[in-house]
Structure 1
Amino acid sequence: MIFDLRNNLGGSLKEAVRVSSMFISNGKIVSTKGNGGEEEFVFREGKYFGDFPLFN
């Protein structure tokens, strides 16, 4: 599953992390880089709904 949230001016990053966390069991969800070059990482949070089968 891919949630492409680029150029989504109507959503919030926090909500995107919460939705993504439902499908990602652990680790980093997203990183952002500020104007000064500092990188910030956001890790999964909230409920995890389990693994889903993937089809080719």
Structure 2
Amino acid sequence: MPRAGLNPDAVVDHALALIDEDGPDALTLAAVAARAGVAAPRSTSTCRADWPDCAA
């Protein structure tokens, strides 16, 4: 569920502003999240060798 005030258009606006100000190399999920005032998502999944989509 999206946070109040944070929708896809807002995320794109933050990303574009970041690129305009700092260049395309500055575009990361963490940077956009910081700019939006939210925490960047963390990966909570783990990969096991017996899972078909995981590299051994």
Instruction: Decide: shared fold, TM above 0.5.
Output: no
State the TM-score, normalized to the length of structure 1.
Answer: 0.32
Higher helix share: 2
Higher Cα Rg: structure 1 or 2?
2
| TM-score, normalised by the number of residues in structure 2 | 0.32
Q: Which has the higher contact order (CA 8 A, sep 6+)?
A: 1
Structure having the larger proportion of residues in strand? 1
